[in-house]
């Protein structure tokens, strides 16, 4: 009987320890999210929906620099056969990483993402990335950043994702220019290349450059609006003006 009593006391103590540890972790963390709508969903200069898209994400950020989160959006991906039937209508992404400072002005971010497409797992892929960002103070505060992405199997660029396994890189840089406390202008340019974009070797798409210019306006109560002009240097892909509304929140 004494044995069972000691076991119960041990379990209670363990439970209290785990609860205290969990509370300690959460007390140094922030859980937030946002939900929004855009007139069109473009990713790296490529149209994902051909129309209105509803999107949302939720993020956990720890004071140590560790974070994880998830993003989801409706899509129309792809109609490669031309019969008007799309392989997937939902994108759902999962990501984790670590971000911190090297100096007061210089920071870094290491990220690992898993991009999934509902009912079309042949397009799913894992992608890792690393970035540096530098804060410029002054009358017009500006944050400069550059990020390099790598995927060992970037299926979406391939004409036959079930039978082809080819890698792809994406290098992008941007400047977030704070014109006012609630107004940010962001020019961006990126370059997509790699074995999956070797058109002579694997078919499908050729390597390309994408670019954008965005203006983000913050309002009260976590609301914001975004105006973007996005473009790409691939034939058959149009440049686009995109409008977006967003509401952020925290728990």
Sequence-ordered list of residues with C-beta below 8 angstroms from that of 68, at least 6 positions apart, any chain: 59, 60, 94, 95, 96, 97
Where are the domains positioned within the chain? 32-250
pTM of the predicted model as reported, rounded to 2 decimal places: 0.86
**Class in CATH terms, 32-250:** mainly beta
Give me the mean pLDDT over the 3-30 stretch: 47
Confirm if 78 and 91 have CB atoms less than 8 A apart: no
- Please enumerate in sequence order all residues whose Cβ is within 8 A of that of 129, keeping only pairs 6 or more positions apart, or say none: 109, 110, 111, 112, 113, 147, 148, 149, 150
Q: Which pLDDT value is given to residue 17?
A: 44
The percentage of the chain sitting over the pLDDT mark of 70, rounded to a whole number, equals 86
Q: Calculate the alpha carbon distances from 91 to 16, 240, 250 in Å.
A: 39, 21, 23
pLDDT tens readout for residues 123-152: 999 999 999 999 999 999 999 999 999 999
Q: What is the pLDDT of residues 210-233, one digit of tens each?
A: 999 999 999 999 999 999 999 999
What is residue 164's predicted lDDT score, i.e. its pLDDT?
Answer: 83
């Amino acid at each position: 009987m004494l044995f069972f009593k000691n076991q119960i006391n041990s379990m209670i103590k363990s439970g209290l320890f785990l609860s205290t540890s969990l509370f300690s972790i959460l007390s140094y963390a922030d859980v937030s999210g946002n939900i929004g709508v855009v007139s069109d969903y473009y990713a790296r200069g490529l149209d994902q929906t051909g129309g209105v898209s509803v999107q949302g994400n939720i993020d956990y950020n720890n004071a140590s620099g560790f974070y994880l989160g998830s993003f989801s959006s409706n899509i129309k991906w792809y109609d490669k056969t031309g019969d008007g039937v799309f392989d997937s209508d939902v994108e759902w992404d999962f990501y984790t990483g670590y971000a911190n400072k090297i100096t007061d002005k210089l920071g870094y971010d290491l990220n690992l993402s898993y991009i999934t497409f509902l009912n079309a797992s042949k397009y799913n892929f894992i992608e890792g990335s690393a970035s540096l960002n530098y804060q410029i103070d002054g009358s017009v505060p500006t944050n400069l950043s550059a990020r390099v992405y790598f995927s060992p199997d970037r299926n979406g660029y391939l004409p036959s994702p079930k039978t082809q396994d080819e890698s792809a890189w994406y290098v992008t840089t941007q400047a977030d220019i704070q014109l006012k406390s609630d107004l940010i202008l962001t020019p961006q340019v990126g370059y997509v290349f790699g074995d999956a974009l070797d058109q002579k070797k694997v078919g499908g798409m050729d390597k390309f450059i994408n670019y954008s210019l965005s203006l983000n306006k913050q309002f009260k109560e976590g609301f914001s609006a975004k105006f973007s002009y996005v473009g790409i240097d691939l034939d058959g892909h149009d440049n686009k003006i995109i409008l977006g509304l967003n509401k952020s929140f925290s728990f």
